[in-house]
Structure 1
Amino acid sequence: MAQLKKKSKSAIKNSGKDKIVLAYSGGLDTSVILKWLINTYKAEVIAYCCDVGQKEDLAAVKEKALKTGASEAIVEDMKEEFAENYIFPMLRGNALYEGAYLLGTSIARPLIAKRQIEIATEKGAKYVAHGATGKGNDQVRFELAYAAVNPQIKVIAPWREWDIVSRAELIKYANDNGIPVPVTKAKPYSSDKNLFHISYEGGILEDLENAPEESMFEITVSPEEALDKPEKIEIEYKNGNPIALNKKKMNPFKIVDTLNTIAGRNAIGRADIVETRITGMKSRGVYETPAGTVLSFAHRVMESITLTGEEIELKNSLVPQYSKLIYEGSWFSPELKAVQSLIDSTQTSVNGTIGLELYKGNIKVLYRKSKNSLYSQNIVTFEDDKGSYSQNDATGFIHLKSLRYKLM
């Protein structure tokens, strides 16, 4: 059995058995951490697995947690909550980090952390733990959410405490302790799944010259393998939220889940990105976000006919900061709530339907219509507008716009 020295003093003074609620996925990191917490702290560890639509065998995850030594394993279905109160608000804000990342991992962490803290309170646990590394973003996301919900609960972050420094050592510890591991030579990377996306990082992807292998992708196909005929869809919006797909009313979870399948089979939603982590280092992530890619595109198109130019300009100016707040784990911060409130105040007019054509990785607009549309064909036409607009009015407008040049 691998023996680990602790680099820092224990967060728990071992007088009796304390309780720790661990954010548990059943993957390599949290499986090892579960056993390590038991071995190191001699505490009761409650494994909490939040179902955010990862479509894994969560009964097996629960069984694995108990077999690894958890005193209790809780699996909770939070898919509806995740879609309605996390994904949809973010889509209303057109969030896009560094112009490329749709924030699929970032948006799930606040919900998991919130429920983790709430369960710790219910169970009388003084501590929570997570499997995020000291190099990554998730340590910040989890711990900011913990503090926002209940700053009195203490945090254990094993990756900042133990002597393990690599995935290879993590696998050795797992093997020494009889813990099955999902990382193999056949799958030389790690992945994170939820309803909104799948992310892949580490392993062979750390070399920027390695293109991701086709076998890696799970919910999208390549353009070469996509349908040979375009697929048409229609999305209905109300108050900035999609409420129907192909004329069928659906709840938020069902819309995202169904659209994942439709967009995925049309090769939509892949991204290979090098992004700036919260710590400042550059990191490569490969993502599959099929529904998110379509919904982000469709929402912007609907806004283009229902919001004024000034509203669009204001919203666009907020996107970088709004996206950064989400990326950095500030979902529960007062500043994000303020921005979200402003965003949502613009969405009451974002109503209507949009028709799209999906084909081999491309999205084409077929039509868009809204009772709140600000588009007027009568005014904008190059043909006879029947007196709807006087072109002479432009003279004074241009004089005013150009006045500053006369003063320079």
Structure 2
Amino acid sequence: MSAAAASTKERVVLAYSGGLDTSVMVKWLQLERDLDVIAICANVGQDAEDLEWVKQKALDMDAIYSDAVDLRKPYASRILKKAVQANALYENTYPLLSALSRPMIAKYLVDYAHKHGARYIAHGCTGKGNDQVRFETCIHALDPEIEIIAPVREWDLLTREQEMAWASEHNVPVPTTAAKPYSIDDNLWGRAIECGVLEDPWNEPPADIWTMTVDPKDAPDEPEYLTIGFERGVPVSVNGERMKYLPLIIKVNEICGKHGFGRIDMVENRLVGIKSHECYECPASLALIRVHQALEQLCLDRDTQHFKHQIDQRWATLVYDGLWFSQLKEALDAFVESTQEFVTGEVRAKLYKGSLTVVGRRSDYAIYDYGLATYSEGDTFDRASSHGFIELHSLQSKTWSRKQGPGARRAAEGHDFEQF
């Protein structure tokens, strides 16, 4: 009989990354809460594709079960597909790389809790960050009966330095050092970097935080053109080569990173009410969203494009706030999906020294009509129709002005007046 089967202790499924917080947490849950720990590491595209070392590290710290589950393909096909279709940028800047991975990880944590009969799920999210909200909201949406343990909100290890000292005292191996105390979260959609010198928003981000993108000044001196093909709003090809979505994201990360494109330095409004200085490195996500927006400009009519921009912003905020599993999010998914029926075509972009510029777009479903748009030979637009359109469009303005607005006031006062 295995140790796991023989134990009579209650069990907790821990969202485990192998980093500072969750490494300390494996031992803390055993010592302070007297629980058997089931450590689950989700591979959503971290730097190291082989996460067996993370699995073994938890077992070496006496976890009764550990697993490193590869979620890269479903993460790309089920979640990152929707992120591009919705042009998901929180505060029109951040492509939601951390927020997007949490719903899928939460689902698997709940699945493992059911499988192993665990009453609890634990996470290592900071007590002042967004991820605690995301994980717990998603978990509660999937199974309201599971209880959450958030040690970071309970223990007296209030600084990263104190955590590292506790880890040393209890022989817990951790990758973080006092000399480089960044908190890093990375997956297919990019890297999030915070803490350390970045906590002062006046400080320029140190060069050593960037790993996916070269310094733009060291990027190639010649531009490179990148063509992305789409079908129904989903990227399907790179430079004419058809690819599945997972390798396509990896390929675009490589191409854009080589040219120094994809760095973000922003002050972000966290859900919990704190402003935070965040750095992100998102070559593929920013590139794919930008070129997708360019294709939508070609294929969506004016009203749909304008309204979808509002929906995209609301979609991004819902996901940022941890409401992936919610009624409104599902309704917005349906709207976004319906708009993508004819978003099929190609977009060409030029990469150069940290920049990406869209320089071409084409689609068999383009609403753009050359004959209507051109001022040269071949112009098919009937200019005479503009007079009647303007008369009708301005009718309410004219009527308002005569009765209540500038026209009425001018007639009453008998002179011009300042309007602005």
CA distance in 2, matches of 1:54, 1:207: 27
Corresponding position of 2:351: 358
Q: Provide Cα deviations, 1:263-302, integer angstroms capped at 9, x if missing partner.
A: 0011100001111111111011100000011101100000
CA distance in 2, matches of 1:243, 1:389: 35
Letter in 1 for 2:209: M
Match of residue 20, structure 1, among 12, 15, 27: 12
CA distance in 2, matches of 1:405, 1:311: 25
Corresponding position of 2:176: 183
Match of residue 23, structure 2, among 24, 31, 43: 31
Q: How big is the shift at 1:172?
A: 1.2
| 2:37 counterpart of 1:41 | no
| 2:138 counterpart of 1:138 | no
CA distance in 1, matches of 2:117, 2:147: 12
What are the ranges of 5 or more consecutive residues in structure 1 without an aligned counterpart? 1-14
CA distance in 1, matches of 2:216, 2:181: 24
Q: How big is the shift at 1:252?
A: 1.1
SS class of match (1:192): strand
Q: How big is the shift at 1:351?
A: 0.3
Corresponding position of 1:349: 342
SS class of match (2:171): coil
Corresponding position of 1:8: none
What are the ranges of 5 or more consecutive residues in structure 2 without an aligned counterpart? 1-6, 401-420
Match of residue 54, structure 1, among 40, 46, 58: 46
Contact 2:161-2:178 within 8 A present in 1 as well: no
CA distance in 1, matches of 2:200, 2:244: 40
Q: CA RMSD in A?
A: 1.2
CA distance in 2, matches of 1:96, 1:32: 33
Amino-acid identity (%): 40
CA distance in 1, matches of 2:368, 2:357: 19
| 2:291 counterpart of 1:298 | yes
SS class of match (1:407): helix
Higher mean displacement: 204-213 or 137-146: 204-213
Within a 5 Å distance, the mapping from 1:7-406 to structure 2 comes to 16-56=8-48, 57-385=50-378, 388-406=380-398
Letter in 2 for 1:172: A
SS class of match (2:394): helix
Q: Provide Cα deviations, 1:13-36, integer angstroms capped at 9, x if missing partner.
A: xx9401110000000000001110
Q: Give the alignment's TM-score, normalised by structure 1.
A: 0.94
Q: How big is the shift at 1:208?
A: 1.3
Higher mean displacement: 302-311 or 312-321: 312-321
Contact 2:160-2:181 within 8 A present in 1 as well: no
Higher mean displacement: 254-263 or 316-325: 316-325
CA distance in 2, matches of 1:55, 1:280: 30
Q: Provide Cα deviations, 1:314-356, integer angstroms capped at 9, x if missing partner.
A: 1012222211101011011110010111011000100011122
CA distance in 2, matches of 1:75, 1:224: 38
Q: How big is the shift at 1:183?
A: 1.6
Letter in 1 for 2:35: A
CA distance in 1, matches of 2:262, 2:357: 14
Q: How big is the shift at 1:215?
A: 1.6
Q: How big is the shift at 1:191?
A: 0.5
Q: How big is the shift at 1:383?
A: 2.0
CA distance in 1, matches of 2:272, 2:179: 30
CA distance in 1, matches of 2:359, 2:47: 32
Q: How big is the shift at 1:186?
A: 3.7
CA distance in 1, matches of 2:137, 2:309: 26
Contact 2:87-2:289 within 8 A present in 1 as well: yes
CA distance in 2, matches of 1:185, 1:44: 30
Higher mean displacement: 73-82 or 180-189: 180-189
Letter in 1 for 2:289: S
| Aligned pairs, number | 393
